Chain A
Amino acid sequence: MSDVLVVDCVGKAYGERKVLTAASLHCAGGAITALLGRNGAGKSTLLEIAAGWIAADYGLIQFKGERYPRPRLHELATRGVFYLPDHDLLSNAFTIRRHLEIVQRRFGAGSIDDVASITGIANRLDQRPRELSGGELRRAELAVALLRAPECLLADEPYRGIAPHDAETLSHTFRRLASAGCAVVVTGHEVPTLLDAADHIVWCTAGTTYDLGTPADACAEWRFQREYLGSP
């Protein structure tokens, strides 16, 4: 599996506070990478930098072999990146169906009925985002991502506040995207769900990242166990 997106040695500070000092992320096509770490460790910042939503202070970002000194989301999006933020991707000005139609017209792929059926929102298509529950909204956002069929999906805390059944749907959708060759990166604190869904674990701590390998390898790593999982 080749790396679709490479974030190499990036740093980011907010004023005096250094959130990331030397963080890296290698996103392989066809694999689900889980980015784990404590609150405030810099997971979301790293994902936002990878997506081109915020600028890093230094470091390198490479997408499909091309280097981006100052990547912007709208540039990366045209080449295949889709960034799913931790909240509020969809606008209340449009129904879910309208959002999906906009994506379909823009990228000309997929079927709205198919993605609505896969994500279980077929009966919610004519409602606006504010009328949906948290789980339904997350699935609707994922339906948009699925319809886009990106080459790299960066999902920030997709499982937050989601019921187990909805989490299962989300995991299946991520796996479906990965099976199509997409590099999927997810963050979160839902450790059992993420370890179950991911092929690869990256630990974000103290401003840097550690590539821990498979979930089994990660669970066997004593420092990760002691400092993040908290298990004996």
Chain B
Amino acid sequence: MIAPDPLVTRALLRRGAFLWVGTRVLFGFASLLTAGVFGSPSIGVAPHTAIGLACLVGVLGLLEARRRNEHLFLANLGVSQWPIWLISVLPALLGECLIALAIQW
């Protein structure tokens, strides 16, 4: 698996971070709206939900790369779609880990 250029990697990481924040905000709103059904909302989520959110951010990162035509340019450089997904997921995983640690403390 060939990794993208550092310049592209930085752009994907930055975008992944923004997408994670956006996804988290939307998730927070959804938790508030469904508080009556699922109980009071909290910043911390179950591990499988955190992983699910990170995977969702990865898919959104991939779709955004497609929207920006980066997937074709990267494919011409020998980079498949997996690294794009993986790099987009990293900020979300890091963020979820930090939240989990902060809640434990």
Contact = CB atoms under 8 A, between A and B. Distances in A.
A185 to B, nearest CB: 15
B78 interface: yes
A148 B74 CA distance: 13
B78 A77 contact: yes
B73 interface: yes
A114 B68 CA distance: 27
Could you say which interface size class chain A belongs to?
20 to 34
Contacts of A73: 72, 75-76
Contacts of A82: 76
A91 B68 contact: yes
Contacts of B76: 73, 77, 82-83, 89, 144, 148
B78 A94 contact: no
A102 B2 contact: no
A93 B11 CA distance: 8
Nearest to B11: A93
A227 B8 CA distance: 47
Which secondary structure characterizes the binding site on chain A? helix
A88 B68 CA distance: 9
Contacts of B80: 72, 74
Contacts, number: 60
B69 A90 contact: yes
A47 B74 CA distance: 18
B77 A85 contact: no
B1 to A, nearest CB: 9
Interface string B46-72: 000000000000000000000011101
B26 to A, nearest CB: 23
Given A101-B7, A105-B5, A93 B68 contact: yes
Contacts of A91: 68-70, 73
Interface in B1-45: 2, 5, 7-8, 11
Contact of B7 (A83, A102, A148): A102
